Amino acid sequence: MQKIDFVVTWVDGNDSIWQVSKAKYTQETNLVLNSDARYRDWNTFKYWFRAVEKYAPWINKIFLITEGHLPKWINLNHPKLVHIKHSDYIDEQYLPTFNSNVIELNIPNIKELSENFVLFNDDVFINAPVLAEDFFDKDGLPKDIGVFSPIIPKWGGISSIVLNNLEIINKYFNSRDVLKKSFRKFYTFQYGKHLIKNICVSPWKPILGFYDFHVAVSYNKSYFSKLYELEKEFFIKTSKTKFRTRENINHWLVRYYQLCDGYFSPRRIDFGAYYNVLDELEKTLNDIKNSHHKIICINDGDNIDNFNFCKKSLIQSFEEKYPKKSNFEK
């Protein structure tokens, strides 16, 4: 199997220099898509590294992407850690950027990055032992879930961005051809009850949407390059926006293309789980303690009433699970 790298993005919302830079462009901001909750620090990032060291020691490299700032505790001398600043791989004309879509869509510009890589956010944690085969099969195909799911617009969400992705996808694919080409990848019992979705949408030729499971995504670097050449205008238009906007595309566009092209290997639906920690604290803590899923997304929300309590509880739970420093820490 080829080398596999992890990529994780992180921002220090408490960095005063970053705050000044962000404030300079705030008038351009869609406050719904760019609330402060998207930048606040839960102080749990060190547990991300402890989990990787414990559960994925086979990883080739970890690319830590930041604006330039770093956690005070990070050990940059670790042989597997590569710190990448936005200015290292994003065209200067698009900087500074506070737009996660820009940061993620340009990742393949990192020359040292392996062809096969897994993209994490800092709120997506490995939660149990994982193998390279959990992310790419023996032939190097990305592991993913091929489930169609109609997009349901939700106020404050990113459905408008997802719809932009789908407009592009429907230029190149339709569901009937996709299913004909990769029938067994879309109709597998590994998807559990979600298999019903593929059956229900089968009468429609247009692709209505995909099930987005909000965990780490396995990517082939070449597919980013392919989409860039096909839809350069959309990539450039997104890169020009300092903050997320309704007109953006995001990295899921590449994921959708991989799925439609049949360039994936089916993965069990229960591989990962998504939690809104401010509303599902007990479920989140229970999963951390008992490792019900191999990967969990601990998503922040706009609710601030119980933020400090949730943060304290989360740190305590992580500390009990990973009490020892990793070699990624000083």
Q: How far apart are CA 41 and CA 4, in angstroms?
A: 28
Query: If one looks up domain 4-321 in CATH, what number appears?
Result: 3.90.550.10
Domain range list for the chain: 4-321
> Whole-prediction pTM value?
0.94
Q: Which two tokens stand for residue 307?
A: 């933020």
Residues 6+ apart with CB under 8 A from 138: 1
List the pLDDT tens digit at each of the 330 positions of the chain. 689 999 999 998 888 888 888 888 876 565 544 555 556 678 999 999 999 999 999 999 999 999 999 999 999 999 999 999 999 999 999 999 999 999 999 999 999 999 999 999 999 999 999 999 999 999 999 999 999 999 887 776 789 999 999 999 999 999 999 999 999 999 999 999 999 999 998 899 999 999 998 899 999 999 999 999 999 999 999 999 999 999 999 999 999 999 999 999 999 999 999 998 888 999 999 999 999 999 999 988 666 678 888 899 999 999 999 999 999 999
Longest CA–CA separation in the chain, Å: 57
